[in-house]
Amino acid sequence: MKKEQKLTDISTLGTQLFWDTDINKLDYQKAYIPIIVRVIERGDQSEIDEIVRLYSKEKILLTICKEIKFLPNYAIERAIRFFPELRKEDMLCYQNRKDKSYHWI
């Protein structure tokens, strides 16, 4: 059985997701949050598979739950479709929703 090859850059994701960025100058290790956000918002399953190989599933799940401060509603739903073990109630971006009701004293 062939061992999964760890990616060393994001060039395999293609330029359609990063049309506004020179991916050759992007430090994919430092810019992991915006890369994950972009793929969740606009990518397909093959691009999700690529970032899982690049960062690991655990890092992506932790980033989605604890580090991404905002995702639009459609992207939250996409993240849950891509990673069924996620619960939106555990996601920081869902907890910070401006449209949730607050109790005022």
Give the pair of three-digit tokens for residue 5.
Answer: 């090859």
Buried b / exposed e along 80-93 (16+ C-beta atoms within 10 A): bebbeebebeebeb
Residue 1, pLDDT score: 38
| pTM for the structure as a whole | 0.81
* Of the candidates 35, 8, 7, the residue with the CA atom closest to the CA atom of residue 21: 35
Helix (H) or strand (E) holding 46: helix 45-55
**How confident is the model at residue 99, as a pLDDT?**
66
pLDDT tens, the chain, 105 aa long:
344 444 456 666 766 787 787 777 878 889 999 999 999 999 999 999 999 999 999 999 999 999 999 999 999 999 999 999 999 999 999 998 766 665 665
Amino acid at 37: V
Q: What pLDDT was estimated at residue 101? A: 61
